[in-house]
Chains A and B, each alone.
Chain A
Amino acid sequence: MEILVASGVGAMTAAGVYLVLRARSFPVIVGLAMLSYAVNVFLFATGRIAINLPPVISKDAVAYSDPLPQALVLTAIVIAFGMTAVVVVLALRAYLESGDDAVDIGADDTESGQPGESDGLGESAGTGR
């Protein structure tokens, strides 16, 4: 079970990071959403895995799962939603203003029409600011 959760978190992180590194705003937003899942499950799992032990006080319960990470994650989920909503609207506004949804800014948008491709590490890109 632990292996499955850990590898699941790892897979979601990897997918999220890969998408965050894309050149257009929409995949980046989706990547952020994936990263939020990964982070939420990560935080949740710091309470260790417990099955059939919900943190609701009752006379029959033998033990409880850790309620604290759950409370933290609950608000984190809602906040992550708020963040995703703001970011997607930000991306939408940027697209409507400029007609382009490239993530990178620089001279490259105007010169080659290939935004983001000439920003490799170590290359010094020109500035269009």
Chain B
Amino acid sequence: MSLALIVLLPFLGALLPGLMIRAGRNACAVATGSVTLLALILLLAEAPAVFAGEVIQARWEWLPQLGLNVTFFLDGLGLLFATLILGIGLLIIIYARFYLSRRDPMGQFYSYLLLFQGAMVGIVLSDNILLLLIFWELTSLSSFLLIGYWKHLPEGRQGARMALAVTGSGGLAMIAGMLILGQIAGSYDLSVILQHGAEIQASPWYAPALLLILVGCFTKSAQFPFHFWLPHAMAAPTPVSAYLHSATMVKAGLFLLARLWPALAGTEWWFYLVATTGLFTMVMAAWIALFKDDLKGLLAFSTVSHLALVTFLFGLGTPMGVVAGLFHIINHACFKAALFMTAGIVDHEVGTRDVKRLGGLMALMPITGTLASLAALSMAGVPLLNGFLTKEMMLHEALRTEWLGNPWIIGLAAGVGALFSVAYSLRYVVHVFFGPKRDDYPSKPHDPPFGLYLPPLILVIPVVLIGLFPEAVAGQVVAVTAQAALKGPLPDYYLAIWHGFNLTLVVSLVALAGGALLLWRHAAANRLRLAVPRPEAKRIFEALVRTLVSISNRATDVLHNGSLRRYMAVLIATSTIAGAIAFWGATHGPGARPLTHASPVVILAWAVLIGACVTIVLAHHNRLLTLVIVGVVGVLVSLGFVYMSAPDLALTQISVEVVTVILLLLALNFLPKESPRESGAPRRARDGLIAGLSGLGVGALIFAVMTRDVSSISAFHLENSKPGGGGTNVVNVILVDFRGFDTYGEIIVLAIAALAIFALLDGALRGPAARRLQSWIPDQERARDRHPMMLVVATRVMLPLSLLVGVYIFLRGHNEPGGGFIAGLVVAIALLMQYMASGYGWAERRMKLDYHFVTGVGVLFAGFTGVGAWVASRPFLTSDFEYFTLPILGELGLATTLIFDVGVFLTVVGSVLVALANLSRLARSTEEPVSEAPMDVNPAALDQEAR
């Protein structure tokens, strides 16, 4: 349990800084720090057990079918990394409190930092590799936020983007590699995978899996050729650089190399890929670091070089290499975090981190100078400091390793790398803190406040202590960690400063002397560097990105050219062709179901339908005529429904038809009345072909369906309609009872459609649309008699009748054709008629209801009916019914579904009228004179005149 809590704490704590920042910067930092401290305490509480050799586990099932479970385990390796992450994280939080200025949003910073911290802890404690991958991606994302924290700086944004692109795509490769690995081992749990090392290495999939995983590790740990993102990520605030690039993010790749070492290491593939990459990167990055004038740039490349050193050690595939590599991770985390912090202090207090403008700072900032010098000398590998120990171990291993049968090349390269390393480390000390004092510092240098130099001070203490008493201070930690990483016996070794006078010591001393000499001749070396061509990784990367962007732009332009007609044509043609392929790819017999006889009336109706379809195609340029034909087709379809035993559908179709045509007419009022003829003959032929073929396909398909027998679940509905749903109209019972949830969803869709219409038309009352409306001139002659007396009188007489019909249709719906949908449409039409006959202004004053409100109430009604079932501890929308005997009406069945149907009814009425009301608002905004009187001719006035 506490394992999961250690991982979760930073994530949960990420909410705190944003809240605490209101209480001030100190409160914010304290809150953030206590989250990390708490996680660290929980972690260290487990340490004694881990040192005793236990592996602590925690496990929850998540998606066991996919092999994805939330499993954590803590062994020596995980403990070391988690301690580094949380411990150095705590120091960074203190440091950042004093480093960030008042203008920087500190709450945001700490939130990002904790997110990142949680993701890192997740990586090192995950047992399941799929879970590990999730955390891995999370580190890429959260580090993006951290690197790009100073959003106003273009370098910050570019650096963050580059880091995300490189580590993110590496993560993708890693996912593929891990999946292969899991497939080979038959499990996604690390504890299982690590026991199948021999099996994995024998598999033909070993090489691809290894390659993909290494791409992930190398991108994260900035190994050649993916090293270039790390220096650019230095645009981040220094606390971020110190955290991400000394102790955490870049170490994630190394962690994974160590973690998977028992499963993957020991083969030729492993040695030549990992060790060679490490060795090459180590020498190359050290050489570049020597000439970086930006302090953080120098440290960035030195980091790349030191990461490469560890990669090289792991790549050797020997147990001793792992021991040395892990030991170096500890040492490097200490001195490099301290160095980044001192670089930040110099930047903060002097105002520049350009080496060329620095020097002589020792006298002005003695504390910073001392701390920086100790850390830098440790990085150089000077005896009595911790960096010396691991460099000796590395050189010792390098000197006895052959590369392609060559016994000295690795030793030589490692020696050269060490020499460069000495040179740039000394440069950090000599060119910044020593030399003559200058008089042109951007600001007055002095030692920083205590809070700013405390964290590096804490880090320098282990640098010295481990350097002096390696076995006593670090011996046990290294042993426990190495044992966990090796999953086997430890090699015979002893951590000590003095191993006797041997070749390793000679190389080490030569490197120290050579490094000093190189620094002395720095200017000459720089001329040499400038003379050879240097490929600029950033430029190559950007050119690559530009090419990719232009390729995808071009592809988008070709595929997505803005012609909606083309998309439509492609879509329809493709589905037609797909249907045809499926049809011809299978065998078919003729349908066995006997055909139904067609009466002459039916044939006549069919002929009218076909005629209407032909006419609408031929005459579609005349939009008004098109609408009339749509109406004709709608009526024919309703007739068809009546004839083919679907009275409910017929009622719905005919009422929908009325509403649709009215709405289309209202909209057409503002649209051109003619479509221009602009398609050429080839285009028309092409569209005609597509249309004809798709019509043929759909027609043939439904013919095939209708001529075959089927057994469906409908029998259940027919049997249970009366006993289960309390109604004899099966269609209505299905709607409000069996499939009530569907209907509920559908009225919500209808309500959303009404709101969308409102939003679209409301927006049209502002901006260019409104200007166009105001200058709108009706393009058709207006009727002289816009509200004819006959129509006005007739609709008013009919209103109560039609409302009564609506209520009747609604009430009988459960047993006879009818129901909420149809009743809603009928009532909506009755109200629509009032608006049309007497004018919107007149009708609106008499309708006191807000239609949005009606729509909303309808949805709520239906919803509450459903929730009502919960009160009776039944599932959502379960219905109940009871029969009542009333004096005059006789027996009356009442079901709870009736209330649901009221909801449907209200939603339909509301939605239709919202659409109408908003179209009318549009018309009223055109400054057309709106009749306020109910009729254009007032009979009463005429009467008076006559008298």
**Which B residues are in CB contact (< 8 Å) with A56?**
647, 728-730, 815-817
**Which A residues are in CB contact (< 8 Å) with B596?**
1-2, 49, 51
Which of B566, B568, B702: most chain A Cβ within 10 A?
Answer: B702
**Which A residues are in CB contact (< 8 Å) with B739?**
71
The reply to whether A44 and B641 form a contact with Cβ atoms under 8 Å apart is: yes
Question: Known contacts A54-B646, A56-B817, A104-B563; is A6 also within 8 Å of B702 by CB?
Answer: yes
The stretch of B51-59, B250-258, B359-367, B704-712 in contact with A is B704-712
CB within 8 Å of A: which of B794-831?
815-817, 821, 825
The reply to whether B690 and A21 form a contact with Cβ atoms under 8 Å apart is: yes
Least CB distance, A30 to chain B, in whole angstroms: 5
The reply to whether B602 and A12 form a contact with Cβ atoms under 8 Å apart is: no
**Which A residues are in CB contact (< 8 Å) with B816?**
56
Indicate with 1 or 0, residue by residue over B678-700, a CB within 8 angstroms of chain A CB atoms: 11100100111011101110111
Q: How far is the CA of A73 from the CA of B679 in the complex (A)?
A: 35
The reply to whether A1 and B670 form a contact with Cβ atoms under 8 Å apart is: no
Q: How far is the CA of A12 from the CA of B645 in the complex (A)?
A: 21
Question: Known contacts A42-B698, A67-B718; is A119 also within 8 Å of B566 by CB?
Answer: yes
The reply to whether B691 and A86 form a contact with Cβ atoms under 8 Å apart is: no
The reply to whether B568 and A4 form a contact with Cβ atoms under 8 Å apart is: no
CB within 8 Å of A: which of B766-817?
767-769, 772-773, 815-817
The reply to whether A103 and B564 form a contact with Cβ atoms under 8 Å apart is: yes
Interface membership of B524, Cβ < 8 A: no
**Which of B610, B648, B749 is A82 in contact with, Cβ under 8 Å?**
B749
The stretch of B85-93, B195-203, B752-760 in contact with A is B752-760
Which of B648, B731, B825, B918: most chain A Cβ within 10 A?
Answer: B731
The reply to whether A6 and B613 form a contact with Cβ atoms under 8 Å apart is: no
Question: Known contacts A68-B714, A78-B908; is A44 also within 8 Å of B646 by CB?
Answer: yes
The reply to whether B643 and A89 form a contact with Cβ atoms under 8 Å apart is: no
**Which B residues are in CB contact (< 8 Å) with A89?**
667, 756-757, 760-761, 915, 918-919
Q: How far is the CA of A104 from the CA of B821 in the complex (A)?
A: 36
Q: How far is the CA of A27 from the CA of B429 in the complex (A)?
A: 78
Q: How far is the CA of A2 from the CA of B687 in the complex (A)?
A: 27
Closest chain A residue to B576 by CB distance?
A17
**Which A residues are in CB contact (< 8 Å) with B764?**
92-93, 96-97
Which of A45, A55, A66, A126: most chain B Cβ within 10 A?
Answer: A55
Q: Would you call the interface of chain B mostly helix, strand, loop, or mixed?
A: helix
Which of B637, B692, B821: most chain A Cβ within 10 A?
Answer: B637
The reply to whether A21 and B760 form a contact with Cβ atoms under 8 Å apart is: no
The reply to whether B703 and A47 form a contact with Cβ atoms under 8 Å apart is: no
Least CB distance, A89 to chain B, in whole angstroms: 5
**Which A residues are in CB contact (< 8 Å) with B773?**
96
The reply to whether B562 and A106 form a contact with Cβ atoms under 8 Å apart is: yes
Interface membership of B887, Cβ < 8 A: no
CB within 8 Å of B: which of A1-55?
1-27, 29-30, 33-34, 37-38, 40-42, 44-55
**Which of B633, B676, B769 is A24 in contact with, Cβ under 8 Å?**
B676
The reply to whether A10 and B753 form a contact with Cβ atoms under 8 Å apart is: no
Which of A4, A29, A40, A126: most chain B Cβ within 10 A?
Answer: A4
**Which of B563, B660, B768 is A33 in contact with, Cβ under 8 Å?**
B660
**Which A residues are in CB contact (< 8 Å) with B670?**
92, 95-96
The reply to whether A101 and B672 form a contact with Cβ atoms under 8 Å apart is: yes
**Which of B566, B597, B817, B919 is A1 in contact with, Cβ under 8 Å?**
B597
Question: Known contacts A30-B627, A40-B637, A114-B678; is A78 also within 8 Å of B667 by CB?
Answer: no
**Which A residues are in CB contact (< 8 Å) with B698?**
9-10, 13, 38, 42
Q: How far is the CA of A50 from the CA of B641 in the complex (A)?
A: 10
**Which of B659, B730, B749 is A57 in contact with, Cβ under 8 Å?**
B730
The reply to whether A117 and B678 form a contact with Cβ atoms under 8 Å apart is: yes
**Which of A23, A85, A99, A126 is B663 in contact with, Cβ under 8 Å?**
A85
Interface membership of B664, Cβ < 8 A: yes
Question: Known contacts A19-B620, A34-B616; is A9 also within 8 Å of B702 by CB?
Answer: yes
Q: How far is the CA of A93 from the CA of B14 in the complex (A)?
A: 45
**Which A residues are in CB contact (< 8 Å) with B641?**
44
The reply to whether A71 and B695 form a contact with Cβ atoms under 8 Å apart is: no
The stretch of B22-30, B110-118, B184-192, B649-657 in contact with A is B649-657
**Which A residues are in CB contact (< 8 Å) with B659?**
81
Inter-chain contact total with CB atoms closer than 8 Å: 357
The reply to whether A74 and B731 form a contact with Cβ atoms under 8 Å apart is: yes
The reply to whether B633 and A34 form a contact with Cβ atoms under 8 Å apart is: yes
**Which A residues are in CB contact (< 8 Å) with B743?**
75
**Which A residues are in CB contact (< 8 Å) with B648?**
70, 74
The reply to whether B602 and A1 form a contact with Cβ atoms under 8 Å apart is: yes
**Which of B646, B656, B678, B699 is A65 in contact with, Cβ under 8 Å?**
B646
Indicate with 1 or 0, residue by residue over B588-603, a CB within 8 angstroms of chain A CB atoms: 0000010111100011
Q: How large is the interface on B (under 10, 10 to 19, 20 to 34, 35 or more residues)?
A: 35 or more
Which of A3, A58, A75, A97: most chain B Cβ within 10 A?
Answer: A75
**Which of B569, B606, B730 is A8 in contact with, Cβ under 8 Å?**
B606
The reply to whether A78 and B671 form a contact with Cβ atoms under 8 Å apart is: no
Least CB distance, A25 to chain B, in whole angstroms: 8
Q: How far is the CA of A57 from the CA of B726 in the complex (A)?
A: 11
Closest chain B residue to A2 by CB distance?
B706
Interface membership of B941, Cβ < 8 A: no
**Which B residues are in CB contact (< 8 Å) with A81?**
656, 659-660
Least CB distance, B602 to chain A, in whole angstroms: 6
The reply to whether B683 and A120 form a contact with Cβ atoms under 8 Å apart is: yes
**Which A residues are in CB contact (< 8 Å) with B888?**
none
Indicate with 1 or 0, residue by residue over A96-112, a CB within 8 angstroms of chain B CB atoms: 11010101111000000
The reply to whether B757 and A51 form a contact with Cβ atoms under 8 Å apart is: no
Least CB distance, A58 to chain B, in whole angstroms: 7
Closest chain A residue to B743 by CB distance?
A75
**Which B residues are in CB contact (< 8 Å) with A79?**
746, 749-750
CB within 8 Å of A: which of B851-870?
none
**Which of A3, A64, A91 is B730 in contact with, Cβ under 8 Å?**
A64
Q: How far is the CA of A121 from the CA of B648 in the complex (A)?
A: 44
Least CB distance, A53 to chain B, in whole angstroms: 5
Interface membership of B640, Cβ < 8 A: yes
Closest chain A residue to B694 by CB distance?
A17
Q: How far is the CA of A68 from the CA of B742 in the complex (A)?
A: 13
Question: Known contacts A93-B760, A119-B563; is A37 also within 8 Å of B633 by CB?
Answer: yes
**Which B residues are in CB contact (< 8 Å) with A74?**
648-649, 652, 731, 735, 821
**Which B residues are in CB contact (< 8 Å) with A16?**
691
**Which A residues are in CB contact (< 8 Å) with B617?**
14-15, 18-19
The reply to whether B706 and A55 form a contact with Cβ atoms under 8 Å apart is: no
Closest chain B residue to A109 by CB distance?
B562
Closest chain A residue to B771 by CB distance?
A96
**Which B residues are in CB contact (< 8 Å) with A45?**
702, 705-706
With A10-B702, A127-B562 given, name 11 new contacts (CB 8 A).
Answer: A5-B706, A11-B695, A13-B695, A15-B616, A19-B616, A37-B634, A37-B637, A49-B596, A56-B815, A68-B734, A103-B565
Which residues of B line the A interface, CB within 8 A? Answer: 557-558, 561-566, 568-570, 572, 593, 595-598, 602-603, 606, 609-610, 613-614, 616-617, 620, 623, 626-627, 630, 633-634, 637, 640-641, 643-649, 652-653, 656, 659-660, 663-664, 667-668, 670-672, 675-676, 678-680, 683, 686-688, 690-692, 694-696, 698-700, 702-703, 705-707, 709-710, 712-714, 717-718, 721-722, 728-731, 734-735, 739, 742-743, 746, 749-750, 753-754, 756-757, 760-761, 763-764, 767-769, 772-773, 815-817, 821, 825, 908, 911, 915, 918-919, 922
Provide 30 A-B residue pairs closer than 8 Å at the C-beta atoms, listed in order of the A residue. Answer: A1-B596, A1-B598, A3-B703, A8-B610, A10-B699, A19-B616, A22-B565, A22-B687, A24-B676, A26-B671, A29-B664, A33-B630, A46-B702, A47-B714, A50-B644, A66-B714, A71-B735, A75-B735, A77-B652, A77-B656, A78-B908, A82-B753, A85-B660, A89-B757, A91-B667, A97-B764, A97-B772, A117-B678, A121-B569, A128-B562
**In the A-B complex, the 9 residue pairs with the closest CB atoms:** A10-B699, A14-B695, A119-B563, A6-B703, A82-B753, A96-B769, A1-B596, A18-B691, A106-B562
